[in-house]
Amino acid sequence: MAVSPVPTPHNGAKKGDIAKTVLMPGDPLRAKYIADTYLENPVCFNTVRNMLGYTGTYQGKEISVMGGGMGIPSIGIYSYELYHFYDVESIIRIGSAGGYADDVKVKDIVIGMGACTNSNYAQQFGLPGTFAPIADYELMQRAIEIAKAQGKPVKVGNILSSDMFYNDDADAKDKWKRMGVLAVEMEAAALYMNAARAGKKALCILTISDHLYAPEELTAQERETGFGDMVEIALAL
């Protein structure tokens, strides 16, 4: 039986193909757009399941960008493999989110200091209590400083990583909003837990694409290509 030249069936990259820092949007087409737009000499290292990944340089620094998919199970797989099989040190999730807080508007940038969740993902660790998934402090502090230097206002606080996009509990969003949660997305909590377990770094930077209490929202095309401010913060980390 032949030995596979790659460490995982989900990623076609070989050891050394992926940089120590990976930017991870959910949409693989957004990963391609970022690579084509921002990276010098990008090389595609993965096309398995069309979860596109690229490595190139940005201002002289090697960096990779790869799609992470939708939901905690998907980013749970990809981030675990990047940390454990490809020696990645830092993953910065760059994604879209729905606004909860009244002072969060469409196109605002939100940094997830902590990630609440209704997911059972933490159960696997057998903890004798409730784990609080949080960002790496140094990455978060640098992102805030970079945003300030670039003249891009950000909001920092708790986000929700939800297992449900369509929730049968119509009041759920009101309960999270009352607890000061800024926005909802679907991946950060698993990323933060995987980073904690691996002793690695993670940060989630989000752009508000719609608001749960207002009618405005971005189009699918705007979500794919219109998150430049967030991407430029992440690239500078």
Q: pLDDT tens digit string along 88-106? A: 999 999 999 999 999 999 9
Q: How does residue 220 score in pLDDT terms, banded at 50, 70 and 90?
A: confident
Q: Which pLDDT does position 109 carry in this prediction? A: 97
Q: pLDDT tens digit string along 162-180? A: 999 999 999 999 999 999 9
Known catalytic membership, residue 210: yes
pLDDT at 226 over 80: no
pLDDT at 2 over 90: no
Q: pLDDT tens digit string along 199-215? A: 999 999 999 999 999 98
For the chain, the average pLDDT equals 95
Percent of the chain with pLDDT over 70: 97
More confidently predicted of 34 and 217: 34
Q: Does the domain formed by 21-235 have CATH 3.40.50.1580?
A: yes
For the chain, the domains span 21-235
Q: How far apart are CA 77 and CA 82, in angstroms?
A: 9
Residue 58 region by backbone torsions, left for phi larger than 0, else alpha for psi between -120 and 50, else beta: beta
Over range 29-39, report the average pLDDT: 96
The one catalytic residue among 103, 169, 174, 210: 210
Q: Which pLDDT does position 89 carry in this prediction? A: 98
Which range is least confidently modeled, 2-6, 17-21, 61-65? 2-6
Q: pLDDT tens digit string along 152-165? A: 999 999 999 999 99
Q: pLDDT tens digit string along 3-13? A: 577 889 999 99
Q: Which pLDDT does position 7 carry in this prediction? A: 86
